[in-house]
Amino acid sequence: MILIDGKKAAAELRAELKEEVAELKSKHNKVPGLTVILIGDLTPSQIYVRNKEKSANEVGLKSEVIKYPDSIEEKTVLEKIQELNSDETVSGILVQLPLPKHIDKQKVIEAIHPSKDVDGFHPMNVGNLSSGYESSIPCTPLGCYLLIKKIEPNLSGKKAVVVGRSNLNGKPMTQLLLKENCTVTITHSKTKDLKAECLEADIIVAAVGIPELVRGDWVKKDAIVIDVGINKTDNGIVGDVHFDEVSKNAKALTPVPGGVGPMTIACLLKNTIDCFKRSQI
């Protein structure tokens, strides 16, 4: 069984991106900039944002974090996004989710100019991805996709099962696998026989947020299994896949932690650089 080392893959990607930033700097005399807006004091969000800033600095991006208290008015956030949209030194804007209840998430997502939408959440980018056009691609599914391609460069004709249909993961993951000519099944909480669906799969991407849902006898021998889950349990953090059982069957499997997680942030840096490059044309 191949244990897919997301930490190593992310470090390799960051090294490539660092070189690319240096090249862009010598060509354009400026570097891509990432601005993250963090609202409130949720600990997981603070940790994510700190890691994003650290990684951005490591590859040589200009990085800025704007922090607001929980009580900030929606209007202030929307005005700040407008200001960042017209700031030439800002290539990418990310508003860390979740947001306080009084702020309309969709309004915030749609306020970010699609050309600076490093999350790929704007409807314009969602549409472009589903039509097969160039777009920003949500960071977590992009990270999963790059890990899968490392194991299996030719995905054409493979059967893929995506467990979970969120806008953040399941839906964009499906689009990426479709683009690679996989036959994709999206499954979710109302799917009748999830085990039977998974048993058909050459590739399983589990992104539902249910601890250890995917069991050993759900997985065909030699399947590639990607675990997007980060679930807090009494036994610590576990994924959506039962690691010990599935590792006996799968050809390749991502661990939690150390699998998809590190790739997500590296892909955010990649998206920021890609937004910068498109803005220079």
State the residue number with the nearest CB to ligand GUN.
Answer: 97
Smallest gap, in angstroms, from Cβ of residue 243 to ligand GUN?
22
Asked if 53 touches ligand GUN (CB under 6 A), the answer is no
DSSP string covering 7-69: HHHHHHHHHHHHHHHHHHHHHHSS--EEEEEEES--HHHHHHHHHHHHHHHHTT-EEEEEEE-
> 80, 116, 117, 119: which is the annotated catalytic residue?
119
Candidates 19-27, 68-76, 88-96, 254-262; binding stretch for ligand GUN (CB under 6 A)? 88-96
Exposure string of 247-260, with b = 16+ CB inside 10 Å and e = fewer, is bebbbbbbbbeebb
Asked if 178 touches ligand GUN (CB under 6 A), the answer is no
Residues 94-123 that bind ligand GUN (CB under 6 A): 94-97, 119
Q: Is 52 a catalytic residue?
A: yes
Complex with ligand GUN: residue 10 or 94, whichever CB lies closer: 94
Paired with 232 in beta bridges are 237
3-state helix, strand, coil in the chain (%, to 5): 45, 15, 40
Candidates 68-76, 91-99, 205-213, 270-278; binding stretch for ligand GUN (CB under 6 A)? 91-99
User: CA-to-CA distance for 125 and 65, rounded, in angstroms?
Assistant: 23
Smallest gap, in angstroms, from Cβ of residue 94 to ligand GUN?
5
Q: Is 46 a catalytic residue?
A: no
Asked if 139 touches ligand GUN (CB under 6 A), the answer is yes
Complex with ligand GUN: residue 229 or 249, whichever CB lies closer: 229
If phi over 0 gives left and psi between -120 and 50 gives alpha, with beta otherwise, what is residue 86?
Answer: alpha
Rounded to a whole number, what is the distance in angstroms from the first to the last CA of the chain?
44
Paired with 162 in beta bridges are 186, 205
Q: Is 96 a catalytic residue?
A: yes
Complex with ligand GUN: residue 63 or 96, whichever CB lies closer: 96
Binding site for ligand GUN (CB under 6 A): 94-97, 119, 139-140
Report, as residue numbers or ranges, the catalytic residues: 52, 96, 119
